[in-house]
Structure 1
Amino acid sequence: MENNKHHLIAKFEKELKQYESFSDKMDILLKELLEQEKISYHSIENRVKEKSSLSKKIDGKNKYQDLSEITDIVGCRIISYFEIDVEKIVNLIFKEFKIDEVNSIDKKKILDPDRFGYLSYHIICSINDERAQLREYKNYKNLKFEIQVRTILQHAWAEIEHDIGYKSNIAVPREFRRKFSRIASMLEIADDEFSRLKLDIHNYVETISKQGFENTDINAESLKLFIEQSGDLEEIETHIIETLALKNVAFSEQMQEAIISFTLNIINKFTAYKEILEVQNSIRKNKELIKQFILKWAQLRAILLDRFQKHFDQKDGLIIGYALMMEFLETNHKEGLKAFFPDVSLQEKDEAVALAMKIYREITSK
């Protein structure tokens, strides 16, 4: 057995670069698959088993004759935010890879009922036949690897449990077992409730989408949906893009979230608006003024036009800001106006507000 162990370790060292290359490819592939399916996740971790760890495994099992029999030399861990996404990820893995079901485990199903069910899915995979035909994968078609899937709370529990050093209930001193169970149950309930909350928010957005914005309060989800659906915002956007000959670039999710957050802060701090329809009515009332203001603003401030060309991926979300500016200009709300220029000096804020007021007087005096 010792000679066989040395043989396996020597072979592992010889093929290490191949395993590392395979690990990198799996990292890229898994990210692409999740993004294509629009499944959100916290992180993907990939690793090749260390030589010392492999040696212990060979000693412990006392059965391996070839490296191909060791199914977790390459390992991937996908950490999701929600339990409901774990199921989506697992289904995707079963769809996209060959699965060694004999060696794959849903470890939650083998736990004692008084233990936290947070040991994740361990799925043994290999490249499927279709993908193995591709040049970049054909050298890896016979390699097996392990994918673990767990939520971020499951991962936190596993890491804490590992740090404490107790991996089974019988290893925990009797006086601490109740504490372990209590903490575990709280985390499991929290995981379930977060999943339920995500589903509730999804249903909330679906309801608004179907029934409209009547009696809908202003929040991140309703404002985001309003931006996506508003014909008035789209009309203003199209007019500005065509008049200034700008590129219509799709805006990133991160930019969208930043715009929503910025806009919500201004609405909550400087307006009395409570419902989405109030925002809609303001935009509808001032639609022509908004168009004229943005065009004048761009003409008088070349730096703004440059910013438009570089950052018009903000699109409709940016236009809501101008709609709010019209309300502030009408009421001479200088503090509200200054809030649109957070990253400049006090003097520059005053100059920008003065220019905005000058433009407003010009377009309303016609």
Structure 2
Amino acid sequence: MVSVMNNEIDHLEAAMARYAAERPLYESYAAKLQILLTSLLEANEIRYQVVESRAKDLISFRDKINRPGKSYKDPLTELPDLCGARVIVYYSDDVTSVSEMIDREFLVLEKELSHQPDSFEVDRFGYLSVHSIVRLNNDRSNLSEWKFAESFKAEIQIRTVIQHAWSAVSHALQYKQETATPSKLRRRLFRIAGLFELADEEFVAIRDAKVSLTTAAVNAVTSGEKSIPITLETIKAFVQNNDYLEEIVEEAKSSGFEILEFDPDDVTYPEMIDISNKLGLQTISEIESIIKGDNTSLFASIIDKFGTRWSVSPDYLIFFILLREISSRYSIEELGEFGWGRERAKIILSGAKNAKTKS
């Protein structure tokens, strides 16, 4: 018996020593895998909240191979998660998109789908996730920069922000397994998990509804319908598709502005809605009536206050025009609420007031 125990200890220590020596390679693999996953997500135009990776630490490695009921002849080749990565996305249908991307880009050895709604009984809930055990495919493993990891496995987890929160909290409660949860608490956890699942479904529905609203707004504006209410979708569609934009851009350029592409973060549209509300505007046609005409003096006044050329996207030009109409009643503090720094807010407000006085 003592001999058997000594052999087990020797085996454990040998495995620990070997992994300690090779762990820097797994750390390198984890770092490269994170960069690769990020690049693949962006190439496939899949929005994500975070991509993270790690190599299993030595303590976790020891606990894993020393777990009762487990026996590994060669832990470094048998354990599938010495390298792990996690992709957190915003919407539940993006979990499927990322999973399909993983299928195309890696050699998938195993896929765990038990954390999907279809796998639960009708009275059960849990966190939803896709876990894939992968290796590099032949095309990538043959590249010199990946050659060192051609035999390495990795576990890639894919879940939504909502489900990641559920997983983190449930793990913090130390109830990783349903059977370990006291029966009095199990129903309460099921109820919470059900709400998380419903939230994921509702976020997808809201996203799709927003896309429909945006499409309808663009169709209305491009077809000449301007007597539509001012909303985030309609004002964005109008700003990017109005008949006067090219003329406004040329006026700004002649005054010293450099014009960029439209701001992808859409930061100016809530400001435009705020100004429109304060002006009592209700329809897109009322905004159109304000931006018509010569705005050169406004842009020249802002540049004069700024003191040099200023690079802005076209949506900022529309914002400046609307601000001119309410400049006498708008404050630096109100601009600050939308993220403008005090000095920059002072410049554009002063320029807008000066232009309004001259008009």
**Counterpart amino acid of residue 283 in structure 2:** E
Q: Report the counterpart of residue 232 of structure 1 in structure 2.
A: 244
- Flag the 1:217–1:4 CA change in 2: closer, same or farther, 3 A: farther
1:50 pairs with 2:61: no
Q: Name the SS of the counterpart of 1:257 in structure 2.
A: coil
TM-score, length-normalised on structure 1? 0.82
Give the distance between the partners of 2:150 and 2:227, measured in 1 at CA: 57
Kindly state the Cα deviation for residue 22 of structure 1 after the two structures are TM-superposed: 0.8
Structure 1 gap ranges (5+): none
Give the distance between the partners of 2:331 and 2:244, measured in 1 at CA: 22
**Counterpart amino acid of residue 229 in structure 1:** N
Amino-acid identity (%):
27
Q: What's the CA shift string for 1:176-226, capped at 9, x where partnerless? A: 222222222122111111111111111221222234354543233333333
Q: Name the SS of the counterpart of 2:159 in structure 1.
A: strand
Q: Name the SS of the counterpart of 2:81 in structure 1.
A: coil
Kindly state the Cα deviation for residue 245 of structure 1 after the two structures are TM-superposed: 6.3
1:315 pairs with 2:323: no
Given that 2:232 and 2:270 are in contact with CA atoms closer than 8 Å, whether structure 1 keeps it comes out as yes
Q: Report the counterpart of residue 330 of structure 2 in structure 1.
A: 336
Give the distance between the partners of 1:52 and 1:30, measured in 2 at CA: 27
Q: Name the SS of the counterpart of 1:305 in structure 2.
A: coil
- Flag the 1:141–1:8 CA change in 2: closer, same or farther, 3 A: same
Q: Name the SS of the counterpart of 1:261 in structure 2.
A: helix
Q: What's the CA shift string for 1:272-310, capped at 9, x where partnerless? A: 122333223322x23x2x134213442x33x2534x1xx
Give the distance between the partners of 2:261 and 2:175, measured in 1 at CA: 49
1:294 pairs with 2:281: no
Given that 1:218 and 1:276 are in contact with CA atoms closer than 8 Å, whether structure 2 keeps it comes out as yes
- Flag the 1:356–1:274 CA change in 2: closer, same or farther, 3 A: closer
Q: Report the counterpart of residue 289 of structure 2 in structure 1.
A: 281
Q: Name the SS of the counterpart of 1:79 in structure 2.
A: strand
**Counterpart amino acid of residue 233 in structure 2:** E
Match 1:249 to one of 260, 275, 278: 260
CA RMSD of aligned residues (A): 2.8
Q: How does 1:56-205 map to 2 (within 5 A)?
A: 56-60=63-67, 61-101=70-110, 104-108=112-116, 109-205=118-214
**Counterpart amino acid of residue 274 in structure 1:** Q
**Counterpart amino acid of residue 335 in structure 1:** R
- Flag the 1:4–1:192 CA change in 2: closer, same or farther, 3 A: same
Structure 2 gap ranges (5+): 1-7
Larger fraction in helix: 1
Given that 2:260 and 2:314 are in contact with CA atoms closer than 8 Å, whether structure 1 keeps it comes out as no
Given that 2:298 and 2:355 are in contact with CA atoms closer than 8 Å, whether structure 1 keeps it comes out as yes
Given that 1:22 and 1:140 are in contact with CA atoms closer than 8 Å, whether structure 2 keeps it comes out as yes
